[in-house]
Structure 1
Amino acid sequence: MVWKPQLETKTKTERARMDNEKPIVCVLDASTYVGFWILKGLLGRGFTVHAAIQKNGFDAGETEIQKRIREMEKVEERLEVFVVDVLDYHSILLALKGCSAMFCCLDSSDGYDEKMVDLEVRGAINVVEACAQTETVEKIVFTSSLTAAIWRENISSEKDVDEKSWSDQEFCRKLKLWYALAKTLSEQAAWALSMDRMLKMVSINSGLVLGPSVAQQNPRTTMSYLNGN
């Protein structure tokens, strides 16, 4: 009998990782506006990236950003795309294999309603739980929003907005501020679970996200923000 050693098969990003000292990083959802530019920034700095795209994003066909990510994957050795279901943390685990950090950029391109609030909160919980189930993830960078901190009855009396500031849930429900409510509840849930699982997490609460496609799609809203209205 002749013994033949088995060749070890490696994924695309594992092969790239062997020639790259920088760690593997996961971006979820990489097909959001913020997620896409984080993805590009990480690749530009030499990181190997797992671009996780939400499964329900393909129900109505691929978006322009999703198509661009697919094209990038064909030519970029340090990029691998994963289609995940954020309501199933086992699905997220596949995208997290070998990753040392997670950039969580959950968002809905179809707008927000009460149902979407619940889905985003559950998604945030599953992302953090999936990170906790790995042996490699060291930090979560959670993209939230300034709207998670500013909405309350007496906002005009507030002088400072800091990490202790949270939007009032009932106030958001009363005015149907579903986006603000989603960001408030999902960030609170992510903080609670990350502390319970002893994970390092930071949150980014931006006041305005602006870029070419945002301005083109929402010119009137963009100009209102810039004019201070």
Structure 2
Amino acid sequence: MDIEELPSVCVLDASTYVGSWILKGLLSRGYTVHAAIQKNNGETEIEKEIRGLGREEERLVVFEVDVLDYHSILIALKGCSAMFCCLDSRDGYDEKMVDSEIRGAINVAEACAQTDTIEKIIFSSSLTAAIWKESICSEKDVDERSWSDQEFCRKLKLWHALAKTLSEQAAWALAMDRMLNMVSINAGLVLGPGVSQQNPLSTMSYLRGKHVWHDIFINKQKVASYCKILK
């Protein structure tokens, strides 16, 4: 397929660490990218970089969205063939943030269902959505049947894990109900250039040793390129 024939793709939230690198990868492959950035208090370095790229790169269109506002997502999705959903909180997670991320995931999936041009959803989740439970040490494999235990997460206040578990489950439920073509990526610890300045608080807290691993060690994972999933 020639570069000019490549379809438009939406990345939401493009201002997350993972989202920003997906955006760059898509642009380098010739895609037109709708960079959907969540409205926040203050502008991060990633947001400044994306807006700067938007002024220079004609194949990059920047949208401000509120994931709790279904209609703002619809606007960003217009004309796109795929959605890369990379929801994350730059300020970390608490119990309130869990509910917000669930609602955001539902709105994203529903907006995709209402957009005729959308052919695929790539949902960025986390390994934490699959590993946290009382019996984790007795399990040998983690696969698509594995889910973190909600009560275990609440008991230990693992709000990031709970948010990723419930938001992914909600997205899958709606995707199956609306017959959406969706895949999920459950990455482990994500590292790369600028990670200490740009990565979410949830990752940096683990790197600094602020979280207890609850008797489990996770080997470093190699995450496949998200952009190849479109092929």
1:184-203 equivalent positions in 2, closer than 5 A: 184-203=165-184
Corresponding residue to 1:89 among 63, 70, 76: 70
Post-superposition shift, 1:222?
3.2
- Amino-acid identity (%): 76
| Structure 2 unmatched ranges of 5 or more | 220-231
| Structure 1 unmatched ranges of 5 or more | 1-18
Post-superposition shift, 1:211?
1.5
SS of 1:208's partner is: coil
Aligned to 2:207: 222
Q: Structure 1 30/150 Cα, relative in aligned 2: closer, same or farther at 3 Å?
A: same
Indicate the structure whose relative CO is greater, using CA pairs within 8 Å and at least 6 residues apart.
Answer: 2
Aligned pair count reads: 208
Aligned to 2:163: 182
Instruction: Deviation per CA, 1:31-63: give whole Å up to 9, x if none.
Output: 0000000000000000000000012x2x2x110
Instruction: Deviation per CA, 1:13-40: give whole Å up to 9, x if none.
Output: xxxxxx8200000000000000000000
Q: In structure 1, what residue type is equivalent to 2:16? A: T
Aligned to 2:109: 128
Instruction: Deviation per CA, 1:142-176: give whole Å up to 9, x if none.
Output: 00000000000010000100000000000000000
SS of 1:134's partner is: coil
Q: Distance in 2 between matches of 1:227 and 1:131?
A: 33
SS of 1:74's partner is: helix
1:152-167 equivalent positions in 2, closer than 5 A: 152-167=133-148
Aligned to 1:6: none
Question: Which has the greater radius of gyration?
Answer: 1
Task: Report whether the alignment pairs 1:49 with 2:33.
Answer: yes
When the two chains are superposed, the root-mean-square deviation of aligned CA atoms in Å is 2.1
Q: TM-score, normalised by structure 2?
A: 0.85
Corresponding residue to 2:121 among 130, 137, 140: 140
Contact 1:215-1:222 within 8 A present in 2 as well: no
Post-superposition shift, 1:88?
1.1
Q: Distance in 2 between matches of 1:215 and 1:107?
A: 16
